[in-house]
Amino acid sequence: MFFLNIPARLKNLAREEPITFRYVMDGLLVGSAIHISSNTHNLFAIRLGANDYQLSLVFFLPQILNMLILIPGGLFIDSLKNKRQAMIVALMLCALGYIFSSLSPFVFGFSIVFFLASISLAGGAMALHTISWQSYFPEIVKESSRNRVITLRSSTVVFISMVAPLLVGVVLMLFKTTDGKIVAHQGLFILTVLFFLFSAYNFHKFPQVESAESKKISFIEVKKAVKSLLRNKPFLFFTSVILFFYMTWHMDWTLYFIGQVTYLNMNEFQVGLVVVCGTAVQLLTLKFWSRKNERYGVVLPFVFGILGLSLCPISMIIAVSLPVTIGPHLFLIFHAIANITFPVIVLNHYQCLLKVIGTENKSFTLSVFACIVCLSNAIMPVAGVALYHALGGDLNALRNAFWIVFSLRIAAALLWLFRWRVTREV
């Protein structure tokens, strides 16, 4: 009955709260585009003939490009009178990147290079879209309504992140040959392009909010923006604390894959099931945590989000310590339980950031923060694997590495709690 009522609910939302409706549609369209395409990048690269080194670049290169363009991109967005236009242009560039991606098999001899360049273009454009979206959001949504709007949008994205990979997997399974699967990938990329174009049209319907005057990008303006950022002590304190958490979070991403495939002998279906079950739990608990935000604010509940993620390494430690006949099943259960608090991370990190970015040079500040997170995202998974090999590269090493990650996450939770006590933010 709930899903049958969704069209009526959306119709009422569009009539009563048009801005909220547009943000829900943005979550649906952009979420669909991202989860249809990005989850299959590695598979498409393999089918184009990528080696292990080239596979590592599928994730690494977009992160590096993001770091190169985020800060100048943030300055550019701050210089605009109309940030809505920046979001539309960024989405069009995302679409262009996936048009190029779909053409990669036709670039004989350079298919992998062309594909890597194409997804890097799309990733960089998506980063600019995110920055402009985050900078535009507080200009049109009141602070009292932000938690609700973000909750509705996040619910849509989480639902899509659960459904889209399953549908994509079914589509790819229908094609038996490598050439057929490549054609299927191309079709999925074209579908991604359509979602990005629809999203650009959706943002065209948003209110046009213009600043009092546009700024010129100059050395003096850059210097002023940097000085303003360095004087923003709440932002610097926030960034140093949350960066430590992000580093502990990114550290074990590749280690989970090693544990699942090498030591738990999980097949592709089981690995996918872990993601689906974890996402389903997030969807079920999202509204619960949203209500806690309304009651206690968005800062203190973040501690529980970190503590929940601290259980993820424990779930792997327990699973690989048991017979392989039951280890995967228990990992599936424990990992799903650990995801109960993950919606706090989804809902609160941006709202916490909004409290410390200040009113001037918002896009520049958001860009600097995103650049720092990208650096962690690029380095820490590699550091986690390096730690695993330094400890011996065997089962005991994997367990010890996860114990270290667990300890660091507990420290991150305590550090965040200390920040809350010092600042008393809500």
Q: Which residue has the tokens 């709007």?
A: 149
Task: Report how far residue 106's alpha carbon sits from residue 110's, in angstroms, rounded to the nearest whole number.
Answer: 9
State how far the alpha carbon of 206 is from the alpha carbons of 21, 70, 83, 199, 200, in Å. Answer: 10, 24, 11, 11, 10
Q: How far is CA 383 from each of CA 111, 251, 310, 390, 411, rounded to the nearest angstrom? A: 30, 7, 18, 10, 18
Is the alpha carbon torsion for 351, 356, 361, 367 positive or negative?
negative
User: Tens digit of pLDDT per residue, the chain (426 long)?
Assistant: 444 455 666 667 767 678 888 888 888 999 899 988 877 787 788 888 887 667 667 777 887 887 788 878 877 777 776 778 888 889 999 999 999 999 999 988 889 999 999 999 998 898 888 888 888 888 788 888 888 888 888 888 888 888 887 788 788 888 888 889 899 999 999 999 999 999 999 888 777 665 545 555 556 667 777 788 888 899 999 999 999 999 999 998 888 888 888 899 887 678 778 888 888 899 899 989 999 998 889 999 999 999 999 999 999 999 999 998 899 999 999 999 999 999 999 899 989 998 898 777 777 888 889 888 888 888 888 888 889 989 999 999 999 999 999 999 999 999 999 999 888 766
pTM of structure: 0.78
Rg over alpha carbons for the chain, rounded to the nearest Å, is 22
Helix-then-strand count for the chain, H and E: 17, 0
Q: Say how many Å lie between the first and final Cα of the chain, rounded.
A: 36
The predicted pLDDT at position 232 comes to 86
Residue 68 CA to residue 133 CA, distance in Å, equals: 19
Domains of the chain: 1-217 (1.20.1250.20), 231-426 (1.20.1250.20)
DSSP-assigned letter for residue 341: G
Angle at 121 between CA 111 and CA 271, to 5 degrees: 75
The 3-state DSSP class for residue 82 equals strand
Q: pLDDT at position 3, please?
A: 45
Token couple for 375: 């650096």
Q: Are the C-beta atoms of 289 and 347 separated by less than 8 Å?
A: yes
**The pLDDT value given to residue 314:** 95
82, β-bridge pairs: 210
Which residues touch 159 (CB under 8 Å, ≥6 apart)?
283
What is residue 14's predicted lDDT score, i.e. its pLDDT?
A: 67
Instruction: Return the pLDDT at 1.
Output: 42
Secondary structure in 3-state letters for 175-214: CCCHHHHHHHHHHHHHHHHHHHHHHHHHHHCCCCCECCCC
Strand segments, DSSP code E, in 234-355 are: none
Cβ contacts of residue 111 below 8 Å, gap of 6+? 48, 49, 104, 105
**Mean pLDDT in the chain?**
85
Q: What does the pLDDT read at residue 383?
A: 87
Q: Which of 74, 120, 59 is nearest to 377 (CA)?
A: 59
At residue 58, the pLDDT reads 77
Spatial contact of 421 and 239, defined as CB atoms under 8 Å apart = no
Residue 278 one-letter amino acid:
G
pLDDT of residue 215: 55
Number of Cβ within 10 Å of residue 148's Cβ equals: 15
